[in-house]
Copies of this chain bind each other. A is one copy, B any other.
């Protein structure tokens, strides 16, 4: 049993939106394929992975460091003890050989791309949907057959007015979502008050609306927003300040009793631990949004879940960033609180299986081995290109 080839390509995402920090029209995504000599259902097993949004494709680091290390490894060193499947932890250790501690950015994305492909490959060899494989491996088979998802949107576009924002949010409800998320911090608090109230006219109550500042605010602004947001009783107030400014987050918790959410820009268990140690996050109230695809993959995410449990955090407090099928499978298989969804943005990497509709705020899994990535017609060409021999 071995990986006979590792391939990757770079795909632009189709977008003309911006948030507080970046212009997504320039974003790119690396897609990787692990081609094995294992045959299931008459076909060679190929595992696929890609990077989550907000960070760039990682072809450089993949080609220079992580793919060569895997190619140079003895195939038997990457297998589980029984030799019956690949061992994601051993593959992870192989990729991270000769990497120093600290400096968790970019390489965490590159490793995350390969790690996603590893789990897709492993579940395909087991002939199970990934969420079932995870439940069987880590939770005695206990899993959630449907996962709570929310529609992330509400971005700033040039010329987008309140009407357009309302239409966007209405379309999410029409597609089965019950909770939506919008950006704040683009212009002014007064502007955001108007935008929030416009969206509340559509979604009904504050608990159905989360707001996301994308790390833009200093403490004073974050607190001013906290005071303005509190009466709306929102689903959550997300990433007010710089992701590493734990003191800001901790101080903000003294001004805002409602749920807050953060973590999408922390890319290692060590960084996640610092948020939990110093950020004043409240178990049972606040939400942890670490995105495994940006932060060394599920092998590292398992360590993060264990670390958080030691600090009194339930997996239900984890609702990952990213809107990809790895986070969705983890949510179902490991009992997280839900997963993000991008119904309209980051195409073609947004959304879940084509065959599965969102119903009453939940989504189910397609009956496919692995991540379920083959049930996305928009990715068909790129997957085909990478898996052809």
Instruction: List chain A positions with a Cβ less than 8 A from chain B.
Output: 21-23, 26, 54-61, 63-65, 98-109, 214-215, 242-247, 265-268, 270-271, 273-274, 277-278, 294
Query: Chain B residues with Cβ under 8 A from A60's Cβ?
Result: 58-61, 63-64
Nearest CB in chain B: distance from A38 CB, A: 30
Q: Which of A23, A54, A60, A271 has the most CB of B within 10 A?
A: A60
Cα–Cα distance between A98 and B19 once the two chains are bound (Å): 10
Cα–Cα distance between A267 and B108 once the two chains are bound (Å): 15
What are 17 A-B pairs at a CB distance below 8 A? A21-B99, A22-B99, A56-B64, A58-B60, A59-B64, A60-B60, A60-B63, A101-B242, A101-B244, A102-B267, A103-B108, A103-B109, A105-B108, A242-B270, A245-B270, A247-B277, A277-B278
Cα–Cα distance between A274 and B64 once the two chains are bound (Å): 31
Query: Chain B residues with Cβ under 8 A from A56's Cβ?
Result: 64-65
Query: Chain B residues with Cβ under 8 A from A214's Cβ?
Result: 100
Cα–Cα distance between A266 and B107 once the two chains are bound (Å): 15
Q: A106-B107, A244-B270, A270-B244 are known contacts. Are A100 and B57 too (CB-CB below 8 A)?
A: no
Stoichiometry, copies per complex: 2
Main secondary structure of the interface of A (DSSP, over half): loop
User: Are A102 and B274 interface neighbours, CB within 8 A?
Assistant: no
User: Are A271 and B247 interface neighbours, CB within 8 A?
Assistant: no
User: Are B99 and A102 interface neighbours, CB within 8 A?
Assistant: no
Query: Chain B residues with Cβ under 8 A from A58's Cβ?
Result: 60
Q: Which 9 A/B pairs are nearest by Cβ-Cβ distance?
A: A60-B60, A103-B105, A102-B265, A106-B106, A102-B243, A244-B270, A105-B105, A22-B98, A101-B215
Q: A56-B64, A105-B107, A107-B106 are known contacts. Are A22 and B274 too (CB-CB below 8 A)?
A: no
Cα–Cα distance between A106 and B106 once the two chains are bound (Å): 6
Cα–Cα distance between A244 and B57 once the two chains are bound (Å): 26
